[in-house]
Each structure stands twice: as structure tokens, then as C-alpha cells.
Amino acid sequence: MQSESAVHNQAGPTNKDAYPNDAHLCAKSICRKGATILAALFFLLHLPGLPKLSHWRGDERFYTDAAVQMALSGDYLTPKYPDGALRFKKPILPYWAVLAGIKLFGFNYLACRLAFLIAGALSVWLCFELCIDATAAPSPVRNCSYGVKSDLAQHKHPLHTRCAAVFVQSD
């Protein structure tokens, strides 16, 4: 007759490698919480600077002017310069991001920049998620900090929308 422990060993694997490592799962959970907190801090720390004209960059006017014309004309597929010339040099997504802010919050600097700040914060969070999924152990903060340059979050920059789109499509 077999002992109880022998029967237990035959019933299934007892090797610790066959089961998920509880410490690793705990570390992933802590890292995810940290990523969420870091993304929220990124958002909250950059939010007060959005409505300031002193942070206005020269190329922002192209996105804002085109989005304002889209909002006024109702033509959401044709970005235009203020003189009416067509502006198809850039993808449409950044214009729509500005347009969404204008539609939700009116014509102001905060509304024009808010979507890009959200995309920047989302990029910080998604970078952590990719680091966690791409490695066996949670990655430290420094590996994920390369994903977003903080001064770009205060300006309408298509990099954030492209970065966020790439992260979302990678799943």
C-alpha cells in the first residue's frame, strides 16, 4: 500500500516551477499599482501648465487652426491652414485629438492640449505594462521612463498619439 505522500506526488506535479511564483505575482501587482500612480502623477503635475500661453510651441498653431476650422465647418476629414489651403502633411489623428478637446471643453488652450496629456500619461502606464509582459520580472522605473519625454506632454505633439496607438495595437 502506498503512503499518502506518494499518492499525492502521483496526482500532480509538486515542483515549485510548475506553479506561478507568488512573490513574482505580488511584485507584478505592486509594479502595476506603481505604474498607475506614476501615470496619474504625470497627468496631475502637467495639467496646471496646459492652459499657459508661455508653453505654446510654434507648430501647435497648425493643429489648433485646423481643428478649429474642422469644428466650425463640420468637415472632420479635411484639415486646412487658416488661409483655406489643404494640410495633408500629417496624419489625421492629432487633429481629431485637438478637435475632441474643443468639442468637449470649448475653444481654449487646455482643451487643445488635454488629449495629448492623456496620451502621454497613457504611454507611461502602457510602457510599464509592456515591460512587465516582456520580461520575467517587473522592470524598474528607469526602463519605462524612456517612453515619454515629459516636456512633450504640455504641447500638442503627435508623438504621444502615435506612441499610444502603437502600444494599444501591440496587444
Q: What percentage of the chain reaches a pLDDT higher than 70?
A: 60
Closest CA to 150 of 101, 116, 99, 112: 116
* Structure confidence by residue, pLDDT tens digits, 135-148: 654 444 444 444 44
Give me the count of residues in the chain: 171
50 against 20, higher pLDDT = 50
* Structure confidence by residue, pLDDT tens digits, 48-97: 988 887 666 777 888 888 999 999 999 999 999 888 899 888 899 999 99
Overall pTM surpassing 0.75 (yes/no): no
SS3 125: helix
How many whole angstroms separate alpha carbon 39 and alpha carbon 35?
6
Closest CA to 130 of 146, 154, 150: 146
Which three cell numbers mark 56? 505654446
